[in-house]
Structure 1
């Protein structure tokens, strides 16, 4: 991707655009999963999409290099943990509150990991971390049915996001993105469908076509969103891409208000703005 005068942290314009599109798609598939009345079933259907699409992909693409397997396995495991935590947070609180917390925690966690790995973090990025933290506190004190257990689980979800973000960024520098993504999604895909089968059993036969369409469609959107993020991460700017991706909190707040009729309120609007401002600072 060619460089341009426009771009966060010196990122090429193409990388910025890809990441912002991925952010919008990511908020969309999370909203689709949240919109299914039985959210376990929603995530299970997304897992079915992962399994079918990535299963076909690996038949065409083959296996990754031997040295890539630790990254593939670790990322798939963290994605499963992330999905389970995300599902739990949606059961405990409002989408427009728990989602911004989960996505807001991830950028500063990635930044901390980057520093621990010996990479320099500019002052603006440190400032952004403080601003994001302030926004998260405001979100926690805002309206909605989210409780401290919901916010805690959402925060843990953000840590899982940070973990697989760093792993994936290291992997795509050496492994073709399509091959890596196909195997990573194939390995994680069957887990939630298996859990749903054990917990729901025969009740799954009575699924409405609308739920099937939303769940399977959410899986397709999710695959596309994360594929774009992986391509963006080949730029090498892990923290900046992670921060830009979390602009999805803005899309999520709008989706929650428009489609789920969740109250925003002044506190939430201001808090979402603070988190978004912090994300911009982290990406500079």
Structure 2
């Protein structure tokens, strides 16, 4: 992985933590995610018009990605209803790199060194340590199945997106079409489950949701682009350093506690990132 790709993925990690924080801010997490999804559609269509067409062979990958992104958003929003950013986010993101790495080693042709796999394991260990507080701090354990469901969906769409972008011949256009499919699927799904009242009616919610959607696109597009130049498992692991940004946002903006355990987990994550770079 080159330095440029490395820094780009770190930027994507920050954007990912940022849009999650914006969703967490709202009184209705599902409503905020619906706004984000609605805005995704015009963003995606605008990018489609400015980029080369994708190979038709990538269409099934786009549809599969849209479905798995629906599952990811569904589980994540319900987890945020039950826990804070610095607990839900690590759990939701923590298991994904391990799943991706194991699958990649077994079924994909990506060349990942032993040191990079050690780095992936260290990053995952730090993220899991960050999430440990759900068991020791008396927090709502009902967030766990939703957060873990989100982790499984994250691992699935990471693999789908990495392969789909390679098949597409145009990663930017692929991301744009996935955004469209994702936005349409989630919006229609939530309308079917919750009715029209799920859509917030106030301007502040729309402003925050729109900004979150733009940040989401930036994080997603950079990550998919990076996967065309570096092994999927390594990009997926490095992207999980967004936990550092999420913890800082939770601490400085939301007033969440920063104990020794969180500080130690942050150091472990940074160490894992360095192993993937050296």
User: Could you say whether these structures have the same fold, taking a TM-score greater than 0.5 normalized by the shorter chain as the test?
Assistant: yes
Query: Structure 1 residue aligned with 2:12, among 16, 19, 22?
Result: 22
**Cα drift, residue 22 of structure 1:** 0.5
The answer to whether the aligner puts 1:213 opposite 2:204 as a matched pair is no
The answer to whether the aligner puts 1:90 opposite 2:87 as a matched pair is no
Structure 2 gaps of 5+ residues are none
Q: Could you give the per-residue CA deviations for residues 184-219 of structure 1, whole angstroms, max 9, x where no partner exists?
A: 1111102333344452534746x3221110011101
What corresponds to 1:7 in structure 2? none
TM-score under structure 1 length normalisation: 0.86
Cα separation, 2, equivalents of 1:279 and 1:163: 22
What corresponds to 1:51 in structure 2? 41
Say whether the 8 Å CA contact 1:93–1:144 is kept in structure 2: no
Query: Structure 1 residue aligned with 2:142, among 149, 153, 165?
Result: 149
The answer to whether the aligner puts 1:263 opposite 2:253 as a matched pair is no
Cα separation, 2, equivalents of 1:162 and 1:203: 28
The answer to whether the aligner puts 1:188 opposite 2:182 as a matched pair is yes
Say whether the 8 Å CA contact 1:44–1:196 is kept in structure 2: yes
Q: Look up the SS of the partner of 2:229 in the other structure.
A: coil
Deviates more, 1:138-147 or 1:212-221: 138-147
What corresponds to 1:178 in structure 2? 172
**Cα drift, residue 38 of structure 1:** 0.4
Change over 3 Å in CA distance of 1:270–1:200 after alignment to 2: farther
Q: Residues 228-243 of structure 1 correspond to what in structure 2 (within 5 A)? A: 228-243=222-237
**Residues paired across the two proteins, number:** 273
The answer to whether the aligner puts 1:162 opposite 2:155 as a matched pair is yes
**Cα drift, residue 144 of structure 1:** 5.0
Say whether the 8 Å CA contact 1:107–1:279 is kept in structure 2: no
TM-score under structure 2 length normalisation: 0.88
Cα separation, 1, equivalents of 2:56 and 2:162: 17
Change over 3 Å in CA distance of 1:17–1:137 after alignment to 2: closer
**Cα drift, residue 124 of structure 1:** 2.6
Cα separation, 2, equivalents of 1:187 and 1:34: 23
**Cα drift, residue 122 of structure 1:** 3.3
Q: Look up the SS of the partner of 2:45 in the other structure.
A: helix
Q: Could you give the per-residue CA deviations for residues 54-77 of structure 1, whole angstroms, max 9, x where no partner exists?
A: 133335557532211121111111
Say whether the 8 Å CA contact 1:45–1:215 is kept in structure 2: yes
Change over 3 Å in CA distance of 1:62–1:187 after alignment to 2: farther
Name the Cα RMSD after superposition: 2.4
Say whether the 8 Å CA contact 1:168–1:230 is kept in structure 2: yes
What corresponds to 1:102 in structure 2? 92
The answer to whether the aligner puts 1:77 opposite 2:73 as a matched pair is no
Q: Could you give the per-residue CA deviations for residues 93-129 of structure 1, whole angstroms, max 9, x where no partner exists?
A: 1111110122221211111111111556533344345
What corresponds to 2:28 in structure 1? 38
Query: Structure 2 residue aligned with 1:113, among 88, 103, 117?
Result: 103
